[in-house]
């Protein structure tokens, strides 16, 4: 079961149209953070007109196919999304 979950997660991350991954790099300051990929998919499925203005990125080509993967990834990233929404920073810096 663990291997199947890992493969599923890897497939979602490597998928170029994954809404959760594309919303992580959204260049919109007031874009939704919590369950952003799932919300973007749902917005596109229901015929939303302007995903770039609302989410800072375009909707995936097949949002109904992407929805379960985005929901899974958004659930796994939920603690980080809540922390980001509350303004909590981890204070981690990279480099040498």
> What pLDDT, on a 0 to 100 scale, did the predictor assign at position 1?
58
H or E stretch including 96?
none
- Name the pTM for this structure: 0.73
CB 53 within 8 A of CB 36: no
Q: CA 35 to CA 23: how far, in whole Å? A: 10
Residue 56: the pLDDT is: 86
Which phi-psi region, left, alpha or beta, contains residue 47 (left: φ > 0; alpha: ψ -120 to 50)? left
- The total of other beta-carbon atoms located within 10 Å of residue 50's CB is 9
pLDDT at position 20: 82
Q: What is the pLDDT of residue 61?
A: 85
Spans of the chain below 70 pLDDT: 1, 10-17, 27, 90, 92, 94-96
């Amino acid at each position: 079961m663990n291997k199947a979950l890992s493969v599923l997660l890897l497939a979602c991350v490597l998928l170029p149209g994954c809404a959760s991954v594309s919303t992580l790099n959204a260049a919109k300051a007031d874009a939704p953070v919590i369950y952003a990929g799932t919300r973007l998919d749902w917005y596109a499925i229901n015929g939303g007109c302007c995903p770039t203005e609302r989410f800072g990125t375009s909707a995936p080509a097949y949002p109904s196919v992407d929805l379960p993967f985005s929901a899974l990834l958004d659930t796994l990233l939920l603690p980080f999304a809540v922390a980001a929404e509350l303004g909590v920073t981890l204070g981690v810096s990279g480099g040498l």
